[in-house]
Structure 1
Amino acid sequence: MKAWNFQVLMLVQAMLGAVTPNFRMVVLSCEVDVWVIRFYLEKNIEDDTAEIEDIICQYAAYQDSSLQCKSEILVGNENLPSFSEGNRAVYRRKE
């Protein structure tokens, strides 16, 4: 639980000022010792993709060198997925 709380806090800090109205949801999960950050965007906007790269860079800067993480960008208007126990929504806009 302590590791999860730390990772959520670091991701929130990295996202400060970077989230635009195009961001629908950001989810953090841990899959076999790799932290996965999924960004759900409404549209494929180049500026938002650049913001995501900055978020990941900042998030990694808060970590020690042993952190393994990856990010995924999912674009569309489909229904947002529900969560399993291994996922945490760090951001979700009102829809």
Structure 2
Amino acid sequence: MSNDAGLKDWNFQVLMLVQSMLGAITPNFRMVVLSRDDDAWVIMFYLQDDLEKDVEEVNDIICRYSAYQDSNLQLKWEIVFGCGELPVVPEADRVVYRRKEIFD
């Protein structure tokens, strides 16, 4: 895919990520964002705590997501831990999941 992924490509990737996350999201997941970096898709997972079971869930999500793709998929992914303020997501990126958070 080119750097300028079209709407059809974005919609496919969002759908495949959502399908990959079904049943895997726990209350520890704060946000999941899909973006592009050159020719690679980038998935950022924001988790509150560094829990082994949730890191394993992320690995399973990535495995399922990759299985939905052709062999040309270029993918980067990262897990960010913490309970601070979530970043503002650039307009070009897609927030695929975000939990409700209330701060007093």
Fold-level match, TM-score > 0.5?
yes
Query: Which portions of structure 1, spanning 4 or more consecutive aligned residues, are displaced by more than 6 angstroms?
Result: none
Partner residue, 1:85: 91
Cα offset, 1:78, TM superposition: 1.1
Rounded to whole Å, the distance in 2 between the matches of 1:70 and 1:33 is 10
Cα offset, 1:86, TM superposition: 2.4
Q: Which amino acid aligns with 1:34?
A: A
Give me the TM-score of the superposition, normalised by structure 1.
0.98
Q: Percent identity over the alignment?
A: 64
Cα offset, 1:9, TM superposition: 0.1
Partner residue, 2:37: 31
Rounded to whole Å, the distance in 2 between the matches of 1:83 and 1:54 is 24
Cα offset, 1:85, TM superposition: 2.3
Partner residue, 2:54: 48
| SS state at 2:87 partner | coil
Gapped runs of 5+ residues in structure 2? 1-6
Gapped runs of 5+ residues in structure 1? none
Rounded to whole Å, the distance in 1 between the matches of 2:94 and 2:18 is 12
Give me the TM-score of the superposition, normalised by structure 2.
0.90
What do residues 29-86 of structure 1 show as CA deviations (whole Å, max 9, x unaligned)? 0110100000000000000000000000000000000010011000001101111122
Q: 2:22 aligns with which of 4, 16, 20?
A: 16
Cα offset, 1:87, TM superposition: 1.0
